[in-house]
Structure 1
Amino acid sequence: MHYKMYDEMMEQPRSLKDTMEMEKSHMKEISEKFQEFDKIYLVGCGSSLSTCFSSKDAMNIVSNRDLEVFTGYEFFYHKKLREKNAGVILTSQSGETADTLAALRRAQDEGMYTVSIINESESTMMQESDDVVLTRCGRETAILGTKTYMTQLMCLYQTLFTLEDSSEAKNVLKDLKKIPNITQDLLKNSEEDNKTLAQQYADYDIFYCMGSGPNYGLSYKLAMTMFMEGALKHACPLYSGEFRHGLIERVEKNIPVIFLDADYPGDEFTRKSIEFSRKIGAKNIIYKMQDYTDINPLLAPFVLVVPLEWFIYYLAHYNNEDPGRTRHIGKVRY
């Protein structure tokens, strides 16, 4: 069976290349504008929130810049925003996400500079933002977000890491250029293993997802949008360091736990959690960045998401579900 998500996955390398070609110089201008701000807010919902988490946690490893992540309505209702000398980057695939649109209007009411990263050129956020980075993906219909996730994450990394004049940040940007070709290779080379893995886990109903640093954002996306919206499975995301605060009491024999490992400092806890889960007989599913490519580990979410897309794609298929279809959510609303 061939689902629409398959086509959109295959469009990821081209979407990444087109977006970088069309928006790179524009993102440099935005970075120059954001250099003047003492505070930067990152706002999104769902997959878009996950890109904010990953970008912030990646920047925290190389920068002491003041970054804060909010969901749309949390930003809208927050009473102690720093309105002066602050900029806001809002992320939305559709450009119509009600929560994020409310945050955009609150930011503008407070006099903050707003930039939206979106995929729809005729959207409300396109019209109302002070500036826009437009991802060049074409219309995306699969609910869990593949090409729009990748390009949005790339735009956040490109914009934020350009703020830093350090060898670490420059190394990230150098390797970011490799992501379209790495994605192309992963689409070819990681399908069969994850198809087999999906068949093995088709009858399981709940999955825990864990990662540290930038991989927490990916674990959030994996649980919240890939498992629950795409494969219609129950799932829960956790920072690796939070394993012993709750999950250690609930993980049991034959319970699947997905671990994302990129050898970050926090992955000391990832590996301790892997060992504990192994000893009690949990079903450990381990995705290690080093098994796929050798680039800067801060780019792990770009790398690990592709095999995870295949896993979710076939997990849905083996449960007779279309991984792009939804029961209650509209992908793009006008």
Structure 2
Amino acid sequence: MALENLTPSDEQIKSAPNPNYLEGDYLKGVLEMTFRDGNPVAEKLVDEIFSSRQIDSIYLVGAGGSNSYIEPVKYILDKYCDLRIERINSTELETRRPKPVNEKAVVLLTSHNGETEDTVVAARWAKTTGAVTVALTSGHDSGLAKICDYLLPYSKELPGMPKTMIAYLFAAHFLKRLGNPVGAQLIADLEAMPAKLHDIKNAERERGMELARRYKDENIYYVLSSGILSALNYQYSICIFNEMLWLDASDIHSGEFRHGPFEVADPEMAYVFLMDNGENRKIDQRALKFTRRVTDKIITFDAGRYEDVSPLLSPFVIGVTWYWFAHTLSVLREHPLSVRRYMWKVDY
């Protein structure tokens, strides 16, 4: 049975809300609150879980943007601890049913409102295995929060950065508990992050808006990244370009570019590179160098420009530099980021 036409009218699209959380001091205030309230909760939760039983693996579970926001945590824990760390889509956790999800596993499930059906189903299955389940959500009384053993809450004010900050605090306190100095340093850096991001977002405003003006008429974007940023290209492709702007986009790992995707490189294609000063920079630079031989339609968002920010925190920097571009693009194309055709409207 065909779906009815649910596309909003041009008037409805243009009149939809389109707030820009980068204006003023809003982002700084929300992140300061997130750290202040979330830091002691994350510390207590980590101590309770890891002092109560032996843990061999941590599974990071989510869908859509929530799935990508927790990739940096996998990167950090892979790099600095000996446990098995996996990130997996909510639906696939329940269908795959990994054997290591058992009484020696922590399953951290994330959903902004705590009612994402796929993630709630995954939480119910994880509970049957004896694993420790943790809900990372702003829905403090949500279905997900009620199912899980523990709650890592954050404010409803923003869906992205507060969630990422709380996930980072979970990882940082775990590393601190292990005696790894990276944990304590991450906590200190996260406390300083709201003020730093405030300055960075002000410095990046004009560049981001100019890039949007220059590339507002593109119909497809290829987004490349690697390392700790390797899920942001996925998020920006499916969440911003596809979901919010109704534009075609493809996310490509920079290390995979030469293994197929560069065959469709074309002077008329627009490429977006997300970069930092981490160990993977050489991978991004190699892909960027080739792309420059094909086209000049290249947009770079480079956290490496801010040398006083650890590469481990580059997702926060990219988040604000990118958002100026994305929001301005939505304004110029008269397509607010809040508009949806199917999401929250149809059964799936």
TM-score, normalised on structure 2? 0.87
What is residue 22 of structure 1 aligned with on the other side? 37
- Give the CA deviation at 1:79: 3.6
The residue aligned with 1:137 is 156
Q: Paired residue for 2:19? A: 6
In structure 2, stretches of 5+ residues that fail to align are 1-13
Q: Which residue of the partner structure matches residue 169 of structure 2?
A: 158
Quick one: distance in 1 between partners of 2:15 and 2:169? 33
Aligned to 2:8: none
Structure scoring higher RCO (CA < 8 A, sep ≥ 6) equals 1
Q: 207, 213, 234: which one pairs with 1:193?
A: 207
Q: 1:207 aligns with which of 208, 212, 221?
A: 221
Contact 1:54 1:218 survives alignment (8 Å): no
Cα shift at 1:185? 2.1
Deviation at 1:191, TM superposition (A): 2.0
What do the CA deviations read for 1:145-179 (whole angstroms, capped 9, x no partner)?
Answer: xx221011111111012211222333222211122
Counterpart check, 1:73 vs 2:91:
yes
- Give runs of ≥4 in structure 1 deviating > 6 Å: none
CA positional deviation for 1:244: 1.0
Aligned to 2:147: 128
8 Å contact 2:211–2:299 — kept in the other structure? no
Greater C-alpha Rg: 2
Do 1:50 and 1:218's aligned partners in 2 also have CA atoms closer than 8 Å?
Answer: yes
Q: Is the 8 A contact 2:76 2:171 kept in 1?
A: no
Q: Report the counterpart of residue 249 of structure 1 in structure 2.
A: 263
Alpha-carbon distance in 1 for matches of 2:332, 2:20: 18
8 A Cα contact 1:241 1:266, kept in partner = no
**Pair 279,325 (structure 1): closer, same or farther in 2 beyond 3 Å:** same
Which string of whole-angstrom CA distances, capped at 9 and with x for unpartnered residues, describes residues 174-194 of structure 1? 211122112222332322211
Match of 1:315 in 2: 329
Determine the structure 2 residue equivalent to 1:182: 196
User: Partners in 1 of 2:106 and 2:212 — Cα distance?
Assistant: 42
The answer to whether the 8 Å contact 1:95/1:125 transfers is: yes
Matches of 2:281 and 2:15, distance apart in 1: 36
The Cα shift of 1:3 comes to 7.0
Any conservation in 1 of the 2:172–2:182 contact (CA below 8 Å)?
no
2:342 alignment partner in structure 1 = 328
Task: Give yes or no for the alignment of 1:37 onto 2:51.
Answer: no
- Contact persistence 1:119–1:136 (CA under 8 A): yes
- CA displacement, residues 241-293 of structure 1 (integer Å, 9 cap, x when unaligned): 11112211112113111111112222211101111000112522111113245
Contact 1:45 1:72 in 2 (8 A): yes
Q: Residues 320 and 7 of structure 1: is their aligned pair in 2 closer, same or farther, counting only changes over 3 Å?
A: closer
Counterpart mapping for 1:78-97 below 5 A: 78-82=96-100, 83-97=102-116
Q: Secondary structure at the match of 2:230?
A: helix
Partner residue of 1:167? 181
Q: 2:126 & 2:70 partners in 1: Cα distance? A: 17
Match among 226, 229, 235 for residue 221 of structure 1: 235
After superposition, the C-alpha distances for 1:67-105 in whole angstroms (9 at most, x for unaligned) are 101111100111433213111101110101111111100
CA drift of 1:7 comes to: 4.5
Q: Is the 8 A contact 1:209 1:236 kept in 2?
A: yes
Indicate the SS of the match to 2:210: helix
Q: 1:59 to 1:174 in 2, by over 3 A?
A: same
Q: Distance in 2 between matches of 1:189 and 1:330?
A: 36
Q: 1:137 to 1:149 in 2, by over 3 A?
A: same
**Corresponding pairs, count:** 324
What is the letter of the counterpart of residue 31 of structure 2?
L
Q: Distance in 2 between matches of 1:21 and 1:239?
A: 35
**Identity percentage of aligned residues:** 25
CA shift for structure 1 position 33: 3.5
Moved more, 263-272 or 68-77: 263-272
The 3-state SS of whatever aligns with 2:115 is coil
> Does the 8 Å CA contact 1:96/1:125 hold for their aligned counterparts?
yes
Residue 301 of structure 1 corresponds to 315
- Alignment check: 8 A CA contact 2:20 2:327 kept: no
Separation of aligned partners in 2, 1:109 and 1:237 = 35
Distance 1:230 1:263 in 2: 29
> Which residue is 1:148 aligned to?
159
Distance 1:46 1:279 in 2: 33
Partner SS state of residue 90, structure 1 = strand
Residue-by-residue CA offset, 1:118-156 (whole Å, 9 max, x unaligned): 112232112221111111234xxxxxxxx2210111111
Unaligned runs of 5+ in 1: 139-146
Q: CA deviation at 1:4?
A: 4.2
Q: Sort the Cα spacing of 1:236 and 1:91 in 2 relative to 1 into closer, same or farther, 3 A.
A: same
